[in-house]
């Protein structure tokens, strides 16, 4: 077997030669053993834990009332970022997380499910992660890291865009936005199949599959399979929890059976109080009631009972995911790798407000496709969703939720911990502004790996836009972004961050299309519009946004566009294609039978009579 040093020298050429050589030397002096050995000092393992559709206060250490003890333990071991921002939807966030490049420049100006037809094919609107960006897996892999991916990908499904083609040595991934959590089944009405692949080839899920357990099982297998190499690893674990369909094991749902009967407004208030007590938001920070939040008191007894059950399933799904995080952490402790592992936990966007049953045709279809009885809410063969009411509580005390550019859509929990290294502080809350594009440069610095300078393997690529958060991890007050402007847009909802201030515009149904100005440090709930009180800042930040939009090729949305309506259109178009294919197959079969019968009839006519 070739030595680790030889592997390190020959792995890469050019700009990465020095980094690979340095890593190879450090690996050489770390003796190989039958059991997994700690990674070399200075080159930590990295574990990315990506939750799906978790709101700002959906973690115990951010204010949730359900159990997330393992994620909370990582919070105690590291830094909680209370002013961390992502995209309002999953794929744009995931592209920025993988590359450190803004979503339009990485190809995710919109997603396949939400892009209007007028934008299809336009620059920046590829709806997949383009080939002009370099992933964190490619960067770390070039420096000698093992790279693994499990769970939701949703950044492209062709052979050149699956994780294995974007730098991951091993990958078991889902190409779609979501899928069933108990079986290999798509979200009915959205997709024809659940497109799981392993290392680029179609894959079959095990019979005892549950999504959160499986993605951790598979990641542990990958980590262990390469442990003998002695090389550090990047492990990107991408959970389906808590994306629609909300599903959890019965025991996890049952543990919350006494909760949530007071409704979403009471929960929103309780979470706001806990977040303030924890120091996540300023004490007494005001909050709004979203116009789309239904009045709990006007629901019937049966409606309230069913709604409470959905939230019990949601809490159970979160706790089930947390348990799997704990199992992965326990495995790393048992194999001596925990203390030299950097952990990053985040959600890809705010909580999902979409109610799949809000249209008659949807209800008819879904009642045929699933068991929608009360007893089956959150269980196998169910399609449950928390809707805007509980989503307002999951985002508490913020305004808005997924798809919007309000804080409830863009501000999510972030935890970064490096338990065995004093460089990253423990049990600390950082209130400075941070952005998802900052994760790549942060991890590169912690790993001792240089960022590419806008070229990769001899070709020009998009430069990393984010800034390393290491100064904030080490004790810096405020933000590494200072007063520099940072723009954002998705589906017409837009924002411009600068210092403590945020310029924001939300289209209907979550807004009115007007620009507003907030101090999100003191007013994270976006309750006091400062546009009139600060006209100069308001005008300057509007100019900053126009510059961002021009530089990033942002397109105006067609009149009347909403993400929710486009998702429904996409689903019914998908079903229309599916039904057309099925009808065509049936018609072809009928024609084939008729042709066969005609041929038989003709043969019989021509046959000589006896």
So which residues are the catalytic ones? 90, 154
Instruction: Judge contact between 335 and 36, C-beta under 8 A.
Output: yes
- 347 three-state secondary structure: strand
- In whole angstroms, what is the distance from residue 589 CA to residue 593 CA? 6
- In whole angstroms, what is the distance from residue 186 CA to residue 34 CA? 41
320 phi/psi in degrees, rounded to 5: -65, -40
- In whole angstroms, what is the distance from residue 609 CA to residue 588 CA? 34
316 vs 246, 414, 465, 506, CA distance in Å?
Answer: 9, 21, 37, 32
Burial (CB < 10 A; 0-12, 13-18, 19+), residue 5, is middle
Residue indicated by tokens 């397109």? 555
- In whole angstroms, what is the distance from residue 525 CA to residue 399 CA? 5
Q: What DSSP designation does 283 have?
A: T
The edge-to-edge listing of strands for the beta sheet with 501-505 is 486-490, 493-498, 501-505, 515-519
- In whole angstroms, what is the distance from residue 148 CA to residue 609 CA? 74
For residue 94, the Cα-to-chain-centroid distance in whole angstroms is: 6
Q: DSSP assignment of 504-531, as one string?
A: EE--TTT--S-EEEEETTT-TT--S--T
Question: What residues contact 461, with CB distance under 8 A and at least 6 apart?
Answer: 132, 133, 134, 452, 454, 455
Q: What DSSP designation does 372 have?
A: -
Q: What is the CA radius of gyration of the chain?
A: 25
294 vs 262, 352, 375, 389, CA distance in Å?
Answer: 14, 15, 23, 6
Question: What residues contact 226, with CB distance under 8 A and at least 6 apart?
Answer: 146, 169, 233
- In whole angstroms, what is the distance from residue 261 CA to residue 434 CA? 36
Instruction: Judge contact between 346 and 337, C-beta under 8 A.
Output: no
Instruction: Judge contact between 491 and 88, C-beta under 8 A.
Output: yes
Closest CA to 259 of 66, 40, 54, 484: 66
Q: Do β-strands 201-202 and 78-81 pair in parallel, antiparallel, or remain unpaired?
A: unpaired
Q: DSSP assignment of 73-132, as one string?
A: HHHHHEEEESSEE--SSHHHHHHHHHHSS-TTTTT-SS-TTT--GGGTTSTT--SS--TT
């Amino acid at each position: 077997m070739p030595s680790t040093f030889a592997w390190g020298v020959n792995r890469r050429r050019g700009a990465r030669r020095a980094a690979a050589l340095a890593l190879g030397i450090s690996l050489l002096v770390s003796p190989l053993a039958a059991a997994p050995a700690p990674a070399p000092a200075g080159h930590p393992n990295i574990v990315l834990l990506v939750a799906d559709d978790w709101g700002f206060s959906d973690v115990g250490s951010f204010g949730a009332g359900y159990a997330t003890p393992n994620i909370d333990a990582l919070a105690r071991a590291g830094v909680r970022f209370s002013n961390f921002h992502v995209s309002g939807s999953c794929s744009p966030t995931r592209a920025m997380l993988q590359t450190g490049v803004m979503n339009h420049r990485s190809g995710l100006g919109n997603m396949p499910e939400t892009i209007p037809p007028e934008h299809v094919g336009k620059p920046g609107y590829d709806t997949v992660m383009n080939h002009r960006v370099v992933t964190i897996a490619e960067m770390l892999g070039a420096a000698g890291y093992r790279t693994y991916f499990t769970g939701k990908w949703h950044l492209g499904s062709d052979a050149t865009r699956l994780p294995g083609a974007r730098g991951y040595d091993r990958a078991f991934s889902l190409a779609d936005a979501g899928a069933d959590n108990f079986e290999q089944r798509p979200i009915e009405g959205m997709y024809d199949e659940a497109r799981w692949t392993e290392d680029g080839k179609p894959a079959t899920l095990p019979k005892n599959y549950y999504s959160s357990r499986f993605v951790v099982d598979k990641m542990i297998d990958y980590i262990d399979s390469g442990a003998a190499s002695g090389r550090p690893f990047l492990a990107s674990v991408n959970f389906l929890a808590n994306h629609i369909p909300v599903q959890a094991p019965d025991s996890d749902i049952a543990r919350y059976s006494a909760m949530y009967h007071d409704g979403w407004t009471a929960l929103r208030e309780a979470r706001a109080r806990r977040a303030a007590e924890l120091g996540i938001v300023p004490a007494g920070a005001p909050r709004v009631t979203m116009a789309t939040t239904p009045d709990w008191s006007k629901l019937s007894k049966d409606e309230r009972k069913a709604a409470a059950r959905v939230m019990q399933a949601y809490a159970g799904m979160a706790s089930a995911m947390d348990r799997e995080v704990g199992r992965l952490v326990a495995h790393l402790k048992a194999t001596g790798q925990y203390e030299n592992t950097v952990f990053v936990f985040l959600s890809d966007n705010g909580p999902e407000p979409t109610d799949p049953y809000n249209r008659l045709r949807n209800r008819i279809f879904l009642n045929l496709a699933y068991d929608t009885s009360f007893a089956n809410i959150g269980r196998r063969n169910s399609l449950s969703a928390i809707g805007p009411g509980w989503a307002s509580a999951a985002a508490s005390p913020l305004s808005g939720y997924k798809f919007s550019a309000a804080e409830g859509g863009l501000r999510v929990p972030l935890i970064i911990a490096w338990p065995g290294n004093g460089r990253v502080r423990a049990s600390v809350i950082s209130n400075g502004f941070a952005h998802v594009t900052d994760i790549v440069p942060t991890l590169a610095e912690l790993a001792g790996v240089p960022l590419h300078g806008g070229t990769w393997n001899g070709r020009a690529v998009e430069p990393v836009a984010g800034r390393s958060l290491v100064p904030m991890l080490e004790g810096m007050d405020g933000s590494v972004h200072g007063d520099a402007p940072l723009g954002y847009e998705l589906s017409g909802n837009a924002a411009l961050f600068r210092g403590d201030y945020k310029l924001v515009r939300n289209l209907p149904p979550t807004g009115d299309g007007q620009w507003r100005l907030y101090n999100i440090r003191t007013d994270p709930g976006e309750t006091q519009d400062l546009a009139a009180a600060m006209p100069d800042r308001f005008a300057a930040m509007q100019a900053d946004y126009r510059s961002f939009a021009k530089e990033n090729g942002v397109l105006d949305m067609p009149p009347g566009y909403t993400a929710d309506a486009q998702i429904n259109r996409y689903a019914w178009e998908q079903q229309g294609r599916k039904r057309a294919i099925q009808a065509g197959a049936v018609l072809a079969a009928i024609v084939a039978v008729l042709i066969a019968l005609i041929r038989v009839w003709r043969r019989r006519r021509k046959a000589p009579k006896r």
